[in-house]
Amino acid sequence: MTRYTRVLGRMAAAVLLSCAALGAQAAGPLKVAFVYLGPVGDGGWTFQHDQGRQGLEKAMGTAIKTTYIENVPETADAERVLRQLAADGNELIFATSFGYMEPLLKVAKQFPKVKFEHVNGYKQATNVVTYEPIFDQGFYLMGIIAGKMTKTNTLGFIGSFPIPSVVRDANAFILGAKSVNPKSTLKVVWASTWYDPGKERQAAETLMGQGADVLSQNTDSPAGIQAAEAKGKYAFALDSDMSKYGPKAHLTASTENWTDYYVQETKAVIAGTWTGNRATRWGLKEKMVVMAPMNVAVPADVVKMVEDKKTAIANGSFDYFGGPIKDNTGKERVAAGAKLPVGDYMSMNWYVEGVEGSVPQ
Amino acid sequence: MSPFVPMVQSTVVAATPLIFAALGETIVEKSGVLNLGIEGMMLVGAIAGFAATLATGNAGIGFVAGAAAGTAMALIFAVLTISLQTNQVATGLALTLFGIGLSAFVGHDLAGMPLPGMEGVTFPVLTSLPLVGELLFHYDPMVYGSIILLIAVMWFLERSHAGLKMRAIGESPAVAHSIGHPVVLIRYLAVMFGGATSGIAGAYLSEVQTPMWAEGMSAGKGWIALALVVFGTWRPGRVVLGAYLFGGVTVLQLFAQGIGLNVPAEFLSMLPYAATVVVLVIICRDPKTILLNQPASLGRSFYPGT
């Protein structure tokens, strides 16, 4: 009998201990989790998000504890990972890819107390908010540089998929170029992928073969930069500074700084002021869109021009989608002095004047 | 410069890794072994080649490392399928999955590091020729290596004694064994050769085509190489032709977009795969071409007995 009592006693002690552990967890640091599409070393999209996570840790110190899971595909796996993170006691979860939308909403419904943040999404809920950078602001500024640097007046754009946000980037890019060089035209090639270095490189070579001498891209790999470097042409990167892949070719990059947003949201959760059903879009003003250092090849007067426009866009005194804007069939889309309606901005499926071809439907 | 020149150049660069992998697989299949692990061997070759080049700064050493890593992978496959008589299809699939995981694991910390890439070869006089020089004489050494490999494989299969022996083993290992040919040894060598070329194909991706390491960067090229072997009905010349055709269609769809042809992007990216299916259908309509060239014992294990 005594043996069994001892065992029972141990079991009781174990139960008590685990209860104590649970109690400690509730009072401990806020657990914040990040779900990444790629590896943290991808040198692009995921890398920037992880910089944001590290910035958050630095800013919040011991008040929080972060974890991340990398290489999470946009499939049923995402749902499993999100559910696991929620079950593990994470109170705030950042899902950093568009394709996590449906799995995230499903898990969010099952864990109403957990707060979910979804990048680039468009569906919100009481415990789900969305956030995204205004990428086209960066593309407009890069367009200015491109218009000044091109010799052939032909620019190239390697697109991922012809969705409104990407079409908007291409349009902003050529609007920027035409503002300083009305003769410039833009060729667009859709690679039908976010990340396929081989295909992105072929797309870059095709564009250069057809006369483009300054390339931009919204695909994720540095293959386009490498191709431009090999051919002695120029290129812009997205997400991260990719100058190490092409020190001569890389003019600048439109990158993202996620830290401020992550800190703001985490503080709101701790303060209890976090609310759902919000959609945040931040750009140059909030410094979520940040320009990487410019190549020395960019002349000083162009740097100044870009800086001036950056200030003007940030303080709201300049809107590049302000009229008059014609599409590339000559139809007027925005009248002189008018503004582009938000709905048209969000669902843009036409090219502005200066882009060749038409948006694949 | 004509816009067609860069198109041809991109095609050649796109086709080169396919040529290496598919020619290796042709030899493997001609010996009667079906190795579905090309994708895995390519990825392991890619990370090995990338790491070796990053460490030594020498692309040549990278290719040797890629070939060695591919061979090691193939050796695992050979031990399992030839010595231990496991099912070749299942083992090949396992090899691919293993290669994807292994390369991602080993390459975790190497993602995002740049390599300088490989300089093109310059031939005296020839490279500076207008058009012809641009089209034919300014590639990296591996492009010419793939042509040399083609000639070597053609000679080996159709003109050499050893090649004849290997084909005999692929047709009927039992008969070849009974007249004293070392079936197991020759199959081992064939599988390892296929591993080496797949490794080189992978290293070409991470060292030349896009000089960087990215997880799963072969993006299905190993499977395409496998299809090309059937596509070329086990004839090296046709296999290489198929590789160029495939590379060409991939580039063509991007080219068409660049000149503003209004074709849906999804349709264009489907084209290379649709072309493969169409050609496979055409080939299969004539069973004789398949029967004449397909090794009769393909995919079947052989028990040498006692």
Give domain status of residue A359, yes or no: no
Nearest to A187 among B251, B258, B268 (CB): B258
pLDDT value of residue A4? 54
Range picked from B148-157, B271-280, B294-303 for highest mean pLDDT? B148-157
pLDDT value of residue A24? 42
d(CA B90, CA B85): 12
pLDDT value of residue B169? 94
The verdict on a CB contact (< 8 Å) between A223 and B210 is yes
Range picked from A219-223, A357-361, B17-21, B117-121 for highest mean pLDDT? B17-21
Give domain status of residue A309, yes or no: no
The residue to which tokens 């919000």 are assigned: A278
Give alpha helix (H) positions in A234-292. 259-271
Residue A344, both tokens: 């048209």
The verdict on a CB contact (< 8 Å) between B112 and A199 is no
**What 8-state DSSP symbol labels residue A125?**
B
- Claim to verify: residue A331 and residue A210 sit in the same structural domain: yes
- Claim to verify: residue A152 and residue A129 sit in the same structural domain: no
- A4 or B160, greater pLDDT: B160
Query: Which of A152, A195, A202 best probes binding to B when mutated, by most B CB atoms within 10 angstroms?
Result: A202
Beta strands in A49-166 (DSSP E): 64-69, 92-95, 115-119, 128-133, 154-159
**A42 contacts in B (CB within 8 Å)?**
111-112, 214
Give domain status of residue A5, yes or no: no
8 A C-beta contact, residue A49 and residue A84:
no
User: How many helices and strands (H and E) does chain A possess?
Assistant: 11, 14
Chain centroid offset of residue A265 CA:
17
* B121 min Cα distance to partner chain A (Å): 14
Cα atoms in the Cβ-side hemisphere of radius 13 Å centred on A98: 9
AA identity, residue A266: T
Query: Which of A48, A205, A356 best probes binding to B when mutated, by most B CB atoms within 10 angstroms?
Result: A205
**A226 contacts in B (CB within 8 Å)?**
114, 117, 210-212
Q: Is A270 helix (H, G, I), strand (E, B) or coil?
A: helix
- Claim to verify: residue A43 and residue A142 sit in the same structural domain: no
Tens of pLDDT along B42-76? 999 999 999 999 999 899 999 999 999 999 999 99
Give residues with Cβ within 8 angstroms of A14, minimum separation 6. none
Residue A258, both tokens: 């996620």
* B188 min Cα distance to partner chain A (Å): 32
> Chain B residues contacting A, CB < 8 Å?
1, 3, 5-7, 9-10, 14, 104, 108-112, 114, 117, 205, 209-212, 214-215, 217, 219, 221, 250-251, 254-255, 257-266, 268-269
**A360 contacts in B (CB within 8 Å)?**
262-266
Residues belonging to chain B: 306
Nearest to A192 among B7, B260, B265 (CB): B265
**A209 contacts in B (CB within 8 Å)?**
1, 3, 5-7, 10, 255, 258
- Claim to verify: residue A62 and residue A176 sit in the same structural domain: no
Residue B55, both tokens: 């460490």
d(CA A106, CA A206): 42
pLDDT value of residue B4? 79
Give domain status of residue A39, yes or no: yes
Give domain status of residue A295, yes or no: no
d(CA B56, CA B216): 23
- Claim to verify: residue A173 and residue A250 sit in the same structural domain: yes
Instruction: Give the pLDDT means over successive 10-residue stretches in chain A (361 positions).
Output: 52 50 59 90 85 94 93 88 94 93 93 94 91 94 96 94 90 95 94 82 90 92 90 93 91 94 95 92 93 94 94 92 89 88 87 88 71
- Claim to verify: residue A207 and residue A58 sit in the same structural domain: no
- Claim to verify: residue A206 and residue A103 sit in the same structural domain: no
Give the architecture-level CATH label for domain B4-293. Answer: Orthogonal Bundle (1.10)
**A187 contacts in B (CB within 8 Å)?**
258, 260
Nearest to A209 among B5, B211, B219 (CB): B5
The verdict on a CB contact (< 8 Å) between B110 and A209 is no
**A200 contacts in B (CB within 8 Å)?**
210
Cβ neighbours, 10 Å, residue B93: 15
Give domain status of residue A203, yes or no: yes
Give residues with Cβ within 8 angstroms of B6, minimum separation 6. A205, A206, A208, A209
The verdict on a CB contact (< 8 Å) between B254 and A206 is yes
Nearest to B117 among A39, A190, A230 (CB): A230
Domain count along chain A: 2
8 A C-beta contact, residue A117 and residue A93:
yes
The verdict on a CB contact (< 8 Å) between A162 and B265 is yes
AA identity, residue A288: M
Give domain status of residue A290, yes or no: no
Give residues with Cβ within 8 angstroms of A215, minimum separation 6. A155, A156, A157, A158, A204, A207, A208, A224, A227, A228, A233, A234, A235, A236
pLDDT value of residue B269? 65
- Claim to verify: residue A156 and residue A240 sit in the same structural domain: yes
CATH number at residue A104: 3.40.50.2300
pLDDT value of residue A3? 52
> Chain A residues contacting B, CB < 8 Å?
38-39, 41-44, 47, 71, 156, 161-162, 187-192, 195-203, 205-211, 221-223, 226, 230, 244-245, 356-358, 360-361
d(CA B277, CA B282): 9
- Closest C-alpha among A45, A39, A38, A37 to residue A239: A45
For A197, nearest residue in chain B (alpha carbons): B210
pLDDT value of residue A13? 53
The residue to which tokens 């386009």 are assigned: A224
Provide the residue range defining the domain that includes A61. 29-133+258-282
For A356, nearest residue in chain B (alpha carbons): B260
Residues belonging to chain A: 361
The residue to which tokens 């938000």 are assigned: A342
* pLDDT confidence band for B244 (50 / 70 / 90): very high
* B103 min Cα distance to partner chain A (Å): 13
pLDDT value of residue A8? 52
pLDDT value of residue B265? 60
Residue B257, both tokens: 């977009």
Nearest to A210 among B110, B117, B259 (CB): B259
Task: Look at strands A250-256 and A279-282 and give their pairing.
Answer: unpaired
Decide if the complex's ipTM is over 0.85: no
For B260, nearest residue in chain A (alpha carbons): A357
DSSP A288-349: SEEEPPPPTTS-HHHHHHHHHHHHHHHTTS--TTPSPEEBTTS-EEE-TT----HHHHHT--
**A44 contacts in B (CB within 8 Å)?**
112
d(CA A72, CA A95): 10
Question: CB-based burial of residue A76 (10 Å sphere; 0-12 exposed, 13-18 middle, 19+ buried)?
Answer: exposed
**A41 contacts in B (CB within 8 Å)?**
108-112
Give residues with Cβ within 8 angstroms of A117, minimum separation 6. A92, A93, A94, A95, A128, A129, A130, A131, A265
Q: Which secondary-structure segment (H or E) carries A282?
A: strand A279-282
Nearest to A210 among B114, B219, B258 (CB): B258
The verdict on a CB contact (< 8 Å) between A361 and B14 is no
First-to-final CA distance of chain A: 79
- Closest C-alpha among B20, B78, B31 to residue B199: B20
AA identity, residue B134: E
d(CA B12, CA A231): 16
DSSP chain B: --THHHHHHHHHHHHHHHHHHHHHHHHHHHTT-----HHHHHHHHHHHHHHHHHHHS-HHHHHHHHHHHHHHHHHHHHIIIIIS---HHHHHHHHHHHHHHHHHHHTGGGTT-B----PPP--TTGGGSTTHHHHHS-S-HHHHHHHHHHHHHHHHHHH-HHHHHHHHHHH-HHHHHHTT--HHHHHHHHHHHHHHHHHHHHHHIIIIIS-B--TTTTTTHHHHHHHHHHHTTT-HHHHHHHHHHHHHHHHHHHHHHHTT----HHHHHHHHHHHHHHHHHHHHTSHHHHHHHS-TTTT-------
- Claim to verify: residue A109 and residue A57 sit in the same structural domain: yes
**Does a cis peptide bond (omega within 30 degrees of 0) precede residue A73?**
no
